[in-house]
A and B are shown apart, each in its own frame.
Chain A
Amino acid sequence: MAGDTQLLRTSLYDLHLELGAKMVPFAGWEMPVQYPMGVLKEHLHCRAAAGLFDVSHMGQVILPEGAVGALESLVPVDIAGLAEGRQRYAMFTDAGGGILDDLMVAKKPGHLFLVVNAACAPQDIAHLRAHIEGVEVITDRALLALQGPGAEAALGALVPGAAAMRFMDVAEFDWQGAALWVSRSGYTGEDGYEISVPAGVAVAFARALLADPGVAPIGLGARDSLRLEAGLCLYGHDIDTTTTPIEADLAWAIQKRRRTGGAAEGGFPGAARILAELAQGPARKRMGLRPEGRAPMREGVEIFADARGGEPIGRVTSGGFGPSIEAPMAMAYLPAALKPGDTVYGEVRGKRLPAVIAPMPFHPHAYKR
């Protein structure tokens, strides 16, 4: 992306402007960071009713059905065991056990459907093409996320079949002659859907959802505070090539079949380190922090064991204020021996402020399982 100053626009760009969005550069795209409602109210609206997010900047990729084995050579996840009509969280690992990107993998009739992060998409696609024949990159579809307790009613009014889906189900529906690729998932901790829609009808479809009085457009600002409250990792911040899935507390995403003793044990990049960490435990782990008081501890804040002296024991990778928990929250990599309830200190503007290690999510998930 070096030297490339031309920002890409999604098919909803004009609609964002019409809705009064403030647009910012994000991962090479011009994206809405907030609408007139503002980050705080957008966040609360999504938890109370429903929010519509444009996530068309994310990469949509199709792999042939026969690529299951090849994909398993890139991710520590059981893809063969993924039932048709289901989706799984996965990550591309590197030889050192670090994370190249995190992604969603859906098993659909005759193919696999992947959604990858915008900033990583070019590298991910090259990586896939180096190992898999027939990688198809989807460029003629928008991707929307509809999240919140009102999502089912709002989407169900347009495509009745969506209401019967469970968390991580995937299905296709017809909407006015257009094929919608729907998953019951998202990245806010709320119940909801991600919907891939042909670019040509994306605005009409978004307007149809926004016609529901409960649905408001939500920008990247609130998307970040929602996912942080939900304890979900943001690639490039909470996970990257310097963190393994085990350090990142993502061991739940590695099914038994890929673990030591499993039928398809290892066989993914960095397996030696990742499986060793699974067995012995990692030296450090991603943990939640609840700073005392109201001052947020943002990304980069160094964490210390004591109120004074000593070397840093970790660093905040994401931090901010949680509108639903009405308190600051953060994630940091800390020595694995620490446990919820322990107090550590974050250095904010030269002052060491106490923070308690807290279980995540900070705000409970509301997935429809």
Chain B
Amino acid sequence: MSDLKFTEEHEWLRVEGDLVVVGITEHASEALGDVVFVELPEPETVVAKGDEISVIESVKAASDILAPVDGEIVEVNGKLADNPALVNEDPMGAAWFFKMKVEDMSQLDAFMSEDDYKDFIG
């Protein structure tokens, strides 16, 4: 699937039907260092773009994950609670954070393509 979008907060978004899957980029996981704890939002939470809905704690520091768009959290990745290191091992795949139901998919139009993101992180 090459249809990934990227935010300036180093999240990736992938559209699956009417859902958007969200995770953090490999660049972000490398910068964070070894992840030791992930706090995920509650499913069925309605969130607004920019809400702090998740926290990643690495050996270095805590970082917030923001809701990238308006929507509703419909599923979270329970594997991350038991195995936070998955964020370092497979950030773009198995370590997705949550799935959101998004009414207005045009919100994604403003985000970066993979090439743009590569330029962004230099």
A residues with a Cβ closer than 8 A to B are: 34, 38-41, 43, 221, 225, 294-296, 298, 320-321, 323, 328, 349
Contacts and interface: CB of A to CB of B under 8 A. Distances in A.
B59 A225 contact: yes
B33 A296 contact: no
13 contacts: A39-B33, A39-B34, A39-B59, A39-B60, A41-B34, A221-B33, A294-B81, A296-B37, A296-B62, A298-B61, A321-B36, A328-B37, A349-B55
B70 interface: no
Interface string B17-40: 000000000000000011011010
B121 to A, nearest CB: 16
Given A321-B57, A349-B55, A298 B33 contact: no
A320 B62 contact: no
Interface in B48-69: 55, 57, 59-62
B84 interface: yes
A43 B55 CA distance: 23
Nearest to B52: A349
B35 to A, nearest CB: 9
A323 B59 contact: yes
B62 A34 contact: no
Contact of A221 (B37, B57, B60, B84): B60
Contacts of B34: 38-41, 323
A41 B81 CA distance: 20
Given A34-B33, A38-B34, A40-B34, A296 B57 contact: yes
B55 to A, nearest CB: 7
A320 B37 contact: no
B33 A38 contact: yes
Contacts of A298: 61-62
Contacts of B60: 39, 221
A20 B52 CA distance: 34
Contacts of A349: 39, 55
Nearest to A33: B60
A38 B59 CA distance: 10
Contacts of A296: 36-37, 57, 62
